[in-house]
Protein backbone atom coordinates (compact mmCIF):
# COMPACT_ATOMS: atom_id res chain seq x y z
CA UNK A 1 0.00 0.00 0.00
CA UNK A 2 1.26 3.48 -0.81
CA UNK A 3 2.58 5.45 2.16
CA UNK A 4 1.87 8.75 0.36
CA UNK A 5 -1.25 9.78 2.23
CA UNK A 6 -1.03 13.57 2.73
CA UNK A 7 -3.13 15.64 0.31
CA UNK A 8 -1.18 17.82 -2.18
CA UNK A 9 0.06 21.09 -0.68
CA UNK A 10 -0.65 24.15 -2.77
CA UNK A 11 1.95 26.32 -1.03
CA UNK A 12 4.67 23.84 -2.08
CA UNK A 13 3.50 23.83 -5.70
CA UNK A 14 2.54 20.16 -5.49
CA UNK A 15 1.17 19.04 -8.85
CA UNK A 16 2.12 15.41 -9.18
CA UNK A 17 2.82 13.99 -12.60
CA UNK A 18 0.26 11.23 -13.12
CA UNK A 19 0.58 10.46 -16.85
CA UNK A 20 3.27 7.82 -17.23
CA UNK A 21 3.90 8.57 -20.88
CA UNK A 22 5.38 11.95 -19.88
CA UNK A 23 7.44 10.34 -17.12
CA UNK A 24 8.88 7.98 -19.74
CA UNK A 25 9.71 10.89 -22.04
CA UNK A 26 11.54 12.66 -19.22
CA UNK A 27 13.55 9.53 -18.35
CA UNK A 28 14.39 9.04 -22.04
CA UNK A 29 15.48 12.66 -22.36
CA UNK A 30 17.74 12.39 -19.30
CA UNK A 31 19.07 9.02 -20.49
CA UNK A 32 21.30 8.43 -17.45
CA UNK A 33 24.59 6.63 -18.02
CA UNK A 34 26.50 4.47 -15.52
CA UNK A 35 28.50 6.41 -12.97
CA UNK A 36 26.64 9.70 -13.45
CA UNK A 37 25.51 11.69 -10.42
CA UNK A 38 21.75 12.31 -10.69
CA UNK A 39 19.91 14.72 -8.41
CA UNK A 40 16.17 15.25 -8.47
CA UNK A 41 14.67 18.44 -7.07
CA UNK A 42 11.20 17.97 -5.52
CA UNK A 43 10.56 14.23 -5.92
CA UNK A 44 7.06 14.52 -4.45
CA UNK A 45 5.46 11.07 -4.45
CA UNK A 46 8.17 9.74 -6.71
CA UNK A 47 6.52 9.85 -10.15
CA UNK A 48 9.88 10.50 -11.83
CA UNK A 49 12.04 9.29 -8.93
CA UNK A 50 11.25 5.60 -9.07
CA UNK A 51 11.48 5.11 -12.85
CA UNK A 52 14.84 6.96 -12.73
CA UNK A 53 15.99 4.92 -9.75
CA UNK A 54 14.97 1.66 -11.41
CA UNK A 55 16.98 2.62 -14.48
CA UNK A 56 20.03 4.10 -12.79
CA UNK A 57 20.20 2.22 -9.46
CA UNK A 58 21.18 5.33 -7.56
CA UNK A 59 19.66 8.78 -7.05
CA UNK A 60 19.77 11.74 -4.68
CA UNK A 61 16.55 13.69 -4.13
CA UNK A 62 15.93 17.01 -2.37
CA UNK A 63 12.44 17.41 -0.88
CA UNK A 64 11.16 20.13 1.43
CA UNK A 65 7.90 18.47 2.51
CA UNK A 66 8.55 16.40 5.64
CA UNK A 67 5.41 14.31 5.06
CA UNK A 68 7.04 12.85 1.94
CA UNK A 69 10.42 11.87 3.39
CA UNK A 70 9.57 8.57 5.10
CA UNK A 71 7.21 7.36 2.34
CA UNK A 72 9.94 8.08 -0.23
CA UNK A 73 12.53 6.10 1.73
CA UNK A 74 10.13 3.21 2.29
CA UNK A 75 9.07 3.06 -1.33
CA UNK A 76 12.70 2.93 -2.46
CA UNK A 77 13.41 -0.31 -0.61
CA UNK A 78 14.38 -2.96 -3.10
CA UNK A 79 14.37 -0.47 -5.99
CA UNK A 80 17.78 1.16 -5.64
CA UNK A 81 19.99 3.40 -3.54
CA UNK A 82 17.96 6.54 -2.82
CA UNK A 83 19.50 9.37 -0.80
CA UNK A 84 16.81 11.71 0.49
CA UNK A 85 17.85 15.22 1.52
CA UNK A 86 15.12 16.89 3.56
CA UNK A 87 15.84 20.54 2.81
CA UNK A 88 14.79 23.63 0.93
CA UNK A 89 16.68 23.22 -2.36
CA UNK A 90 17.67 26.89 -2.22
CA UNK A 91 19.73 26.05 0.88
CA UNK A 92 21.53 23.16 -0.80
CA UNK A 93 25.13 23.75 -1.84
CA UNK A 94 25.43 21.86 -5.12
CA UNK A 95 29.20 22.24 -5.05
CA UNK A 96 29.35 20.18 -1.85
CA UNK A 97 26.86 17.70 -3.27
CA UNK A 98 28.99 17.21 -6.36
CA UNK A 99 32.06 16.47 -4.23
CA UNK A 100 35.19 15.45 -6.07
CA UNK A 101 33.26 13.50 -8.66
CA UNK A 102 32.16 16.73 -10.34
CA UNK A 103 29.26 17.14 -12.72
CA UNK A 104 25.72 16.79 -11.44
CA UNK A 105 22.75 16.08 -13.63
CA UNK A 106 19.72 17.89 -12.22
CA UNK A 107 16.17 16.76 -12.90
CA UNK A 108 12.91 18.17 -11.59
CA UNK A 109 9.27 18.88 -12.07
CA UNK A 110 9.77 22.15 -10.26
CA UNK A 111 7.37 23.91 -7.90
CA UNK A 112 6.30 26.73 -10.22
CA UNK A 113 5.97 29.32 -7.45
CA UNK A 114 9.75 29.27 -6.92
CA UNK A 115 10.99 27.96 -10.25
CA UNK A 116 13.01 31.11 -11.10
CA UNK A 117 14.93 31.20 -7.79
CA UNK A 118 15.66 27.46 -8.19
CA UNK A 119 16.85 28.01 -11.73
CA UNK A 120 19.17 30.85 -10.76
CA UNK A 121 20.42 28.91 -7.74
CA UNK A 122 21.34 26.03 -10.06
CA UNK A 123 23.01 28.42 -12.51
CA UNK A 124 25.13 29.89 -9.73
CA UNK A 125 26.54 26.38 -9.39
CA UNK A 126 26.93 25.92 -13.15
CA UNK A 127 30.57 24.86 -12.70
CA UNK A 128 29.41 21.59 -11.10
CA UNK A 129 26.22 21.10 -13.14
CA UNK A 130 26.49 19.14 -16.36
CA UNK A 131 22.88 19.59 -17.37
CA UNK A 132 19.34 20.19 -16.15
CA UNK A 133 16.03 18.74 -17.26
CA UNK A 134 13.25 20.81 -15.75
CA UNK A 135 9.48 20.86 -16.06
CA UNK A 136 8.35 24.47 -15.94
CA UNK A 137 5.46 26.62 -17.03
CA UNK A 138 5.37 26.52 -20.82
CA UNK A 139 5.27 30.30 -20.96
CA UNK A 140 8.61 30.41 -19.09
CA UNK A 141 10.19 27.74 -21.33
CA UNK A 142 9.05 29.68 -24.42
CA UNK A 143 10.78 32.80 -23.10
CA UNK A 144 13.92 30.85 -22.21
CA UNK A 145 14.29 29.38 -25.68
CA UNK A 146 13.14 32.38 -27.78
CA UNK A 147 15.43 34.09 -30.27
CA UNK A 148 15.42 37.50 -32.04
CA UNK A 149 12.17 38.24 -33.82
CA UNK A 150 10.05 36.29 -31.34
CA UNK A 151 7.51 38.28 -29.32
CA UNK A 152 8.71 36.57 -26.14
CA UNK A 153 12.44 37.10 -26.74
CA UNK A 154 13.78 39.13 -23.83
CA UNK A 155 16.03 39.40 -20.85
CA UNK A 156 15.45 35.85 -19.55
CA UNK A 157 16.27 34.25 -22.92
CA UNK A 158 19.41 36.33 -23.50
CA UNK A 159 20.74 35.82 -19.97
CA UNK A 160 20.16 32.07 -20.07
CA UNK A 161 21.37 31.50 -23.61
CA UNK A 162 24.58 33.41 -22.90
CA UNK A 163 25.48 30.84 -20.28
CA UNK A 164 23.64 27.69 -21.40
CA UNK A 165 22.48 25.75 -24.40
CA UNK A 166 18.69 25.91 -24.07
CA UNK A 167 16.47 23.31 -25.68
CA UNK A 168 12.67 23.22 -25.28
CA UNK A 169 11.90 19.48 -25.46
CA UNK A 170 8.13 18.93 -25.26
CA UNK A 171 4.90 20.38 -23.87
CA UNK A 172 2.82 18.77 -21.14
CA UNK A 173 -0.91 19.56 -20.72
CA UNK A 174 -2.53 20.30 -17.30
CA UNK A 175 -4.41 16.98 -17.43
CA UNK A 176 -1.13 15.06 -16.98
CA UNK A 177 -0.91 16.24 -13.33
CA UNK A 178 -2.90 15.63 -10.12
CA UNK A 179 -4.18 18.15 -9.26
CA UNK A 180 -3.92 19.86 -12.68
CA UNK A 181 -2.15 23.24 -12.68
CA UNK A 182 -3.89 26.22 -14.30
CA UNK A 183 -1.22 26.57 -16.98
CA UNK A 184 0.44 24.47 -19.68
CA UNK A 185 3.85 23.03 -18.84
CA UNK A 186 6.94 22.13 -20.85
CA UNK A 187 10.20 20.28 -20.30
CA UNK A 188 13.42 22.13 -21.02
CA UNK A 189 17.03 20.94 -21.21
CA UNK A 190 19.73 23.39 -20.11
CA UNK A 191 23.38 22.62 -20.65
CA UNK A 192 25.75 25.14 -19.02
CA UNK A 193 28.57 26.22 -21.33
CA UNK A 194 32.12 25.68 -20.14
CA UNK A 195 33.28 28.83 -18.30
CA UNK A 196 35.98 29.54 -20.91
CA UNK A 197 33.54 29.35 -23.82
CA UNK A 198 31.03 31.87 -22.42
CA UNK A 199 33.35 34.74 -23.45
CA UNK A 200 31.84 37.46 -21.26
CA UNK A 201 34.49 39.84 -19.93
CA UNK A 202 32.43 41.48 -17.18
CA UNK A 203 29.34 39.57 -16.04
CA UNK A 204 27.80 42.46 -14.10
CA UNK A 205 28.20 44.83 -17.06
CA UNK A 206 26.71 42.25 -19.44
CA UNK A 207 23.69 41.81 -17.13
CA UNK A 208 23.25 45.59 -16.96
CA UNK A 209 23.38 46.01 -20.74
CA UNK A 210 20.78 43.27 -21.25
CA UNK A 211 18.53 44.62 -18.49
CA UNK A 212 18.60 48.19 -19.76
CA UNK A 213 18.25 47.20 -23.42
CA UNK A 214 15.06 45.26 -22.73
CA UNK A 215 13.88 47.66 -20.03
CA UNK A 216 12.39 49.75 -22.80
CA UNK A 217 12.06 47.27 -25.62
CA UNK A 218 10.17 49.66 -27.93
CA UNK A 219 13.11 52.06 -27.90
CA UNK A 220 16.26 51.90 -29.99
CA UNK A 221 19.27 50.59 -28.09
CA UNK A 222 20.82 54.05 -28.41
CA UNK A 223 18.01 55.43 -26.22
CA UNK A 224 17.51 52.42 -23.97
CA UNK A 225 21.22 52.26 -23.13
CA UNK A 226 21.70 55.97 -22.43
CA UNK A 227 22.87 55.30 -18.87
CA UNK A 228 25.48 52.79 -20.06
CA UNK A 229 26.96 54.11 -23.32
CA UNK A 230 26.46 56.44 -26.27
CA UNK A 231 25.72 55.87 -29.96
CA UNK A 232 29.41 56.13 -30.89
CA UNK A 233 30.28 53.25 -28.56
CA UNK A 234 27.47 51.12 -30.00
CA UNK A 235 28.74 51.77 -33.52
CA UNK A 236 32.33 51.07 -32.46
CA UNK A 237 31.13 47.73 -31.07
CA UNK A 238 29.87 46.89 -34.57
CA UNK A 239 26.14 47.35 -33.88
CA UNK A 240 23.49 49.75 -35.19
CA UNK A 241 22.41 52.31 -32.55
CA UNK A 242 18.97 52.38 -34.19
CA UNK A 243 18.41 48.65 -33.65
CA UNK A 244 15.99 47.50 -30.95
CA UNK A 245 16.96 44.96 -28.29
CA UNK A 246 14.58 42.33 -29.67
CA UNK A 247 16.52 42.34 -32.96
CA UNK A 248 19.92 41.59 -31.45
CA UNK A 249 21.44 38.10 -31.24
CA UNK A 250 22.77 36.93 -27.88
CA UNK A 251 26.31 37.12 -29.33
CA UNK A 252 25.72 40.79 -30.21
CA UNK A 253 24.86 41.62 -26.59
CA UNK A 254 28.10 39.89 -25.57
CA UNK A 255 29.99 41.82 -28.28
CA UNK A 256 28.62 45.15 -27.04
CA UNK A 257 29.24 44.45 -23.34
CA UNK A 258 32.78 43.23 -24.06
CA UNK A 259 33.53 46.31 -26.15
CA UNK A 260 32.32 48.53 -23.28
CA UNK A 261 34.40 46.55 -20.79
CA UNK A 262 37.51 46.88 -22.97
CA UNK A 263 37.14 50.63 -23.57
CA UNK A 264 36.10 51.64 -20.08
CA UNK A 265 38.12 54.57 -18.75
Annotated binding-site positions: 15, 17, 42, 63, 88, 109
State residue 224 phi and psi, 5-degree precision.
-65, -30
In the complex with ligand SAM, the residue whose CB is nearer, 15 or 56, is 15
Which residue from 89, 140, 221, 245 is in contact with ligand SAM, where contact means CB under 6 A?
89
Nearest alpha-carbon partner for 161 in 178, 181, 141, 176: 141
Least distance CB 16 / ligand SAM (angstroms): 4
Query: How far is 246 from 221, CA to CA, in rounded Å?
Result: 10
Residue pair 123/192 in contact (Cβ under 8 Å)? The answer is yes
Which residue from 50, 64, 134, 206 is in contact with ligand SAM, where contact means CB under 6 A?
64
Least distance CB 78 / ligand SAM (angstroms): 21
Query: How far is 239 from 147, CA to CA, in rounded Å?
Result: 17
* Interface segment toward ligand SAM; rule CB under 6 A; list 9-17, 157-165, 189-197, 220-228: 9-17
* Interface segment toward ligand SAM; rule CB under 6 A; list 6-14, 144-152, 222-230, 243-251: 6-14
* Interface segment toward ligand SAM; rule CB under 6 A; list 88-96, 140-148, 195-203, 216-224: 88-96
Least distance CB 174 / ligand SAM (angstroms): 12
Query: How far is 163 from 230, CA to CA, in rounded Å?
Result: 26
In the complex with ligand SAM, the residue whose CB is nearer, 48 or 234, is 48
CA 230 to chain centre: 34
In the complex with ligand SAM, the residue whose CB is nearer, 46 or 157, is 46
Please give the residues from 34 up to 63 whose contact with ligand SAM meets the rule CB under 6 A: 41-45, 47-48, 62-63
Query: How far is 102 from 106, CA to CA, in rounded Å?
Result: 13
Least distance CB 195 / ligand SAM (angstroms): 27
Identify the three-state secondary structure at position 72: helix
Please give the residues from 110 up to 129 whose contact with ligand SAM meets the rule CB under 6 A: 111, 114
Sign (positive/negative) of CA torsion 24, 175, 115, 119?
positive
> What track of x and - describes contact with ligand SAM for positions 11 through 30 (by CB under 6 A)?
-xxxxxx-------------
From residue 11, alpha-carbon distances to 8, 37, 46, 81, 111 in Å are 9, 29, 19, 29, 9
In the complex with ligand SAM, the residue whose CB is nearer, 41 or 104, is 41
- Nearest residue to ligand SAM, scored by beta-carbon proximity: 42
Query: How far is 149 from 201, CA to CA, in rounded Å?
Result: 26
Size of the residue set binding ligand SAM (CB under 6 A)? 23
- Give one word for 46, left, alpha or beta, with left for phi > 0 and alpha for psi -120 to 50: left
In the complex with ligand SAM, the residue whose CB is nearer, 121 or 208, is 121
Least distance CB 256 / ligand SAM (angstroms): 36
Q: Which residues pair with 122 in a beta bridge?
A: none
CB-based contacts of 122, cutoff 8 Å, min separation 6? 94, 106, 129, 132
Q: Residues interacting with ligand SAM, by CB under 6 A?
A: 12-17, 41-45, 47-48, 62-65, 88-90, 109, 111, 114
Amino acid sequence: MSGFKAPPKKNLGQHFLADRSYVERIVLAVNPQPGERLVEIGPGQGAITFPLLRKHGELTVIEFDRDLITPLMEASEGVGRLTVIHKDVLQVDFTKLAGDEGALRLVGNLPYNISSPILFHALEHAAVVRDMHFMLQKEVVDRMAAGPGSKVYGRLGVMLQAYCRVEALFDVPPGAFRPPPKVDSAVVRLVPKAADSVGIADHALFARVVRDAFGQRRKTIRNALQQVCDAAAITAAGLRPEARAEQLEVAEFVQLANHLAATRP
